[in-house]
């Protein structure tokens, strides 16, 4: 049993009258109110992550050395937040970040030129199989956050909704085919827009190059399980994609919702059926809709053995409340508790549910 002693407080102590105490308490109250408002403002800006309050970053010990990260431009800002937060906790660690696209990040990891690849698309079976066969090492890819995707069209386009299904994708879902535009080759806006003035306006798809994860997601969503009948005009950056759509009456592009609003284009959300079943390539522990793109952190490990202490601590930071708050500050969607547990299991770490 803990016994508490009580003491009498002399409010009228010499040199400290009651009015001084009242002023001090008032000042403290203003400070606390300001802190509360700042916390509320921060929470509103990054979205609720209260479900992660019991998942703080708990380092196993101090680490040092250089950690090299390379890959997705979508993850560039979040990765910058992660590295800054991580180095504040581990001041003897150095993090180097290069953002040149998901494909470049994977090539860099496969050649051992980097320690962690940042990817906004999943590894293909061919990439995984070829690497593991040639090196004898194994690959672990975990999801670090999600990026909600939105379609953009030219600002003059009257379309208001873009229905989607996993079988027919975007260009055939809900289309009204004609003899000139069969259901398996919707190439004009007339199949998606009732306005006669748009009947013959060709759909011009603009996207990033094949080396970028955004392009992988565009191809996946565009026509579902079938090949895309429309050539994609490639650009190097999301900014160039939106500029091209703004200049093209029939333009259509896909960008992350955290990229903000761009002049000359209109954002159109993907309309997904409420009873849609999870897709076959759904992320472990997740039931997100197809417009939520998973963003990956990829590492390679020896056949027998685990992560280096530096890698392990960095991934533990990402999968904590602090790391997920960093991702949310960049406008990305933080992981749920079940999604974090699933990623920890992929790493072979203990999970406390």
Is beta strand 65-71 parallel, antiparallel or unpaired with respect to 93-99?
A: parallel
What sign does the CA torsion over 55, 60, 64, 67 have?
A: negative
What domains can be seen in the chain, in order of their start residue?
51-146+294-346 (3.40.190.10), 148-272 (3.40.190.10)
Per-residue pLDDT of the chain (353 residues; tens, 9 = 90+): 222 222 232 333 334 343 443 433 343 343 333 323 333 333 333 445 777 888 999 999 999 999 999 999 899 999 999 999 999 999 999 999 998 889 999 999 999 999 999 999 888 889 999 999 999 999 999 999 999 889 999 999 999 888 887 777 887 644 444 444 444 457 889 888 889 999 999 999 999 988 788 888 888 888 765 556 678 999 988 899 999 999 999 999 999 887 778 899 999 987 777 666 555 555 766 778 778 889 999 999 998 889 999 999 999 999 999 999 999 998 899 999 989 999 999 999 987 75
In the chain, beta strands by DSSP E: 65-71, 93-99, 116-119, 138-154, 162-164, 204-208, 232-235, 251-256, 265-268, 270-272, 292-301
From the list 187, 207, 211, 191, the residue with the least C-alpha distance to 199 is 191
Cα–Cα distances in Å, from 75 out to 119, 212, 250, 339?
8, 11, 29, 18
Residues with Cβ < 8 Å from 111, sequence gap 6 or more?
none
In this prediction, residue 353 carries a pLDDT of 58
In this prediction, residue 50 carries a pLDDT of 74
């Amino acid at each position: 049993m803990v016994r508490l002693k009580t003491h009498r407080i002399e409010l009228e102590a010499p040199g400290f009258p009651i009015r001084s105490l009242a002023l001090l308490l008032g000042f403290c109250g203003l400070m606390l109110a300001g802190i509360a408002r700042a916390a509320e403002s921060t929470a509103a800006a990054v979205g609720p992550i209260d479900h992660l309050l019991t998942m703080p970053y708990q380092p196993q010990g101090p680490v040092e050395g250089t950690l090299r990260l390379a890959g997705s431009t979508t993850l560039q800002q979040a990765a910058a937040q992660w590295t800054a937060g991580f180095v504040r906790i581990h001041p003897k660690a150095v993090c180097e970040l290069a953002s040149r696209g998901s494909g470049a990040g994977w090539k860099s990891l496969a050649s051992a030129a980097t320690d962690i690849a940042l990817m906004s698309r999943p590894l293909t079976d061919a990439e995984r199989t070829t690497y593991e066969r040639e090196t004898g090492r194994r690959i672990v890819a975990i999801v670090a956050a999600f990026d909600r995707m939105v379609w953009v069209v030219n600002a003059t386009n009257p379309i208001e909704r873009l229905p989607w299904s996993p079988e027919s994708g975007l260009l055939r879902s809900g289309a009204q085919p004609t003899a000139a535009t069969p259901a398996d080759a919707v190439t004009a806006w007339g199949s998606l827009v009732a306005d006669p003035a748009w009947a013959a306006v060709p759909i011009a798809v603009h996207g990033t190059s094949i080396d970028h994860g955004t392009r992988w997601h565009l191809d996946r969503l565009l026509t579902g399980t079938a090949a895309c009948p429309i050539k994609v005009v490639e650009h190097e950056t999301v900014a160039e994609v939106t500029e091209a759509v703004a200049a093209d009456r029939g333009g259509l592009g896909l960008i992350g919702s955290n990229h903000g609003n761009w002049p000359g284009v209109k954002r159109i959300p993907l309309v997904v059926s409420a009873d849609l079943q999870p897709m076959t390539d759904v992320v472990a522990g997740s039931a997100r809709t197809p417009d939520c793109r998973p963003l990956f952190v990829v590492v390679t490990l020896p056949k027998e053995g685990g992560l280096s202490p530096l890698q392990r601590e960095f991934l533990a930071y990402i999968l904590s409340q602090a790391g997920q708050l960093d991702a949310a500050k960049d406008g990305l969607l933080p992981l749920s508790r079940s999604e974090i547990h699933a990623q920890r299991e992929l790493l072979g770490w203990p999970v406390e549910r």
